[in-house]
């Protein structure tokens, strides 16, 4: 089996101490295929990293917008410059100040659940004046104003609190920083806090139990049939992605027009009502374009203005 013939998602269980780019590089080097990822994981974090292979790199932005679930340990009574255990840590509370009850912790969690505006961590790839924040941090340059972003902590569940370590599960939307939440929790409790460990267990709709560990992925020989089961468990063909989007089926003639950057009149006519609805509700809408064999041809969007446009065209 040659991976060059495949486009889709590869689910990897990222180990700690590797960047997401490290994993991308290793998989690209091993299989000689274009690779990207859908939502980075910090080096100290582990768990589900969704890689996009081949033509699927064109749809990464539509996949990375999905919600994510984490298992998280937060160490109270300490802070660091990176907001996690890998940074320069300092103690910020006496042990007697850390004797919180379960009720105290749950009250704080409730306060910090939902949409919250928080400072983006300085050790992040968010750009200010064309430069990434972590570059400013490494150069010890202070910014007049650190960017503030609305983050959505959809669900946070208490598991335990022992020896100053809070264990929680967390469901968040895309663009949310768990490290920022840990800092906010520490400030709310007036003791400081940082992320001790972080493991991504879901990047909806994909789960960690579907993933392949990185050493296995790097040592697979896909020409051997006995390795195909391991690959097939962790590989999602491109036509099995974006299942939550509405579908439009194209004839061979319509598919040819789309491939050449044209929206067929028949498709435009079929979406007239949907275009009016988008204008009325001020909501954009995406459609996946499939041929009769359910192969992905591209993605169309109806903007809030009602305008229909091509967002992606796949090479078939």
Model confidence pLDDT, tens digit, residues 219-268: 988 766 556 777 888 999 998 888 889 999 999 999 999 999 999 999 99
- In the residue annotation, 22 being an active-site residue is answered as no
User: What is the pLDDT, as a whole number, of residue 227?
Assistant: 66
2 pLDDT more than 60? no
Angle (CA) 77 20 316, round 5°: 150
Q: Looking at the structure, tell me whether residues 14 and 53 fall in a common domain.
A: yes
Q: Looking at the structure, tell me whether residues 61 and 75 fall in a common domain.
A: no
Please tell me which residue in 13, 22, 42, 293 is annotated as part of the active site.
42
Which CATH number characterizes residue 258's domain?
Answer: 2.30.130
CB 81 within 8 A of CB 39: no
Residue 134 banded pLDDT, cuts 50, 70, 90: confident
Give mean pLDDT, residues 174-178: 92
Q: Looking at the structure, tell me whether residues 103 and 193 fall in a common domain.
A: yes
Q: Looking at the structure, tell me whether residues 50 and 72 fall in a common domain.
A: no
Model confidence pLDDT, tens digit, residues 139-175: 888 787 888 999 999 999 999 999 999 999 999 998 8
Q: Looking at the structure, tell me whether residues 209 and 62 fall in a common domain.
A: yes
In whole angstroms, give the CA distance from residue 123 to residue 47: 20
Q: Looking at the structure, tell me whether residues 17 and 45 fall in a common domain.
A: yes
User: What is the pLDDT, as a whole number, of residue 1?
Assistant: 47
Q: Looking at the structure, tell me whether residues 61 and 210 fall in a common domain.
A: yes
59 pLDDT more than 50? yes
Q: Looking at the structure, tell me whether residues 233 and 181 fall in a common domain.
A: no
- Quote the number of domains for the chain: 3
CB 206 within 8 A of CB 11: yes
In whole angstroms, give the CA distance from residue 143 to residue 134: 11
- pTM (two decimals): 0.87
Q: Looking at the structure, tell me whether residues 288 and 214 fall in a common domain.
A: no
Bridge partners (DSSP) listed for residue 298: 289, 313
Which CATH number characterizes residue 162's domain?
Answer: 3.30.2350.10
Q: Looking at the structure, tell me whether residues 46 and 138 fall in a common domain.
A: no
Q: Looking at the structure, tell me whether residues 182 and 223 fall in a common domain.
A: no
Domain that holds residue 256: 246-313
Q: Looking at the structure, tell me whether residues 193 and 209 fall in a common domain.
A: no
């Amino acid at each position: 089996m040659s991976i060059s013939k495949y486009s889709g998602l590869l689910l990897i269980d990222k180990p700690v101490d590797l960047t997401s780019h490290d994993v991308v590089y290793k998989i690209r080097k091993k299989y000689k295929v274009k690779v990207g990822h859908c939502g980075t994981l910090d080096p100290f974090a582990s768990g589900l990293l969704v890689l996009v292979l081949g033509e699927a790199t064109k749809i990464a932005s539509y996949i990375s917008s999905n919600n994510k679930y984490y298992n998280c340990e937060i160490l109270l009574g300490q802070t660091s410059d990176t907001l996690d255990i890998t940074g320069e840590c300092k103690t910020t509370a006496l042990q007697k100040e850390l004797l919180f009850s379960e009720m105290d912790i749950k009250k704080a969690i409730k306060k910090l659940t939902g949409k919250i505006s928080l400072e983006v961590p300085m050790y992040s790839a968010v750009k200010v004046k064309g430069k990434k924040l972590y570059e400013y941090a490494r150069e010890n340059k202070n910014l007049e104003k650190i960017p503030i972003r609305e983050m959505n902590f959809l669900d946070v569940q208490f598991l335990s609190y022992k020896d100053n370590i809070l264990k929680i599960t967390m469901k968040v939307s895309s663009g949310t920083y768990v490290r920022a939440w840990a800092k906010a929790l520490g400030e709310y409790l007036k003791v400081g806090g940082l992320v001790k460990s972080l493991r991504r267990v879901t990047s909806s709709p994909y789960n960690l139990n579907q993933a392949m560990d990185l050493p296995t992925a790097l040592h697979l020989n896909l020409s051997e049939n006995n390795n195909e089961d391991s690959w097939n468990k962790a590989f999602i063909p491109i036509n099995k992605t974006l299942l939550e989007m509405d579908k439009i089926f194209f004839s061979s003639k319509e598919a040819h027009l789309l491939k050449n950057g044209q929206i067929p009149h028949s498709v435009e006519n079929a979406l007239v009502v949907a275009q009016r609805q988008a204008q009325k509700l001020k909501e954009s809408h995406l459609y996946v374009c499939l041929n009769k064999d359910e192969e992905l041809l591209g993605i169309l969007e109806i903007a809030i203005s009602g305008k229909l446009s091509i967002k992606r065209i796949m090479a078939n």
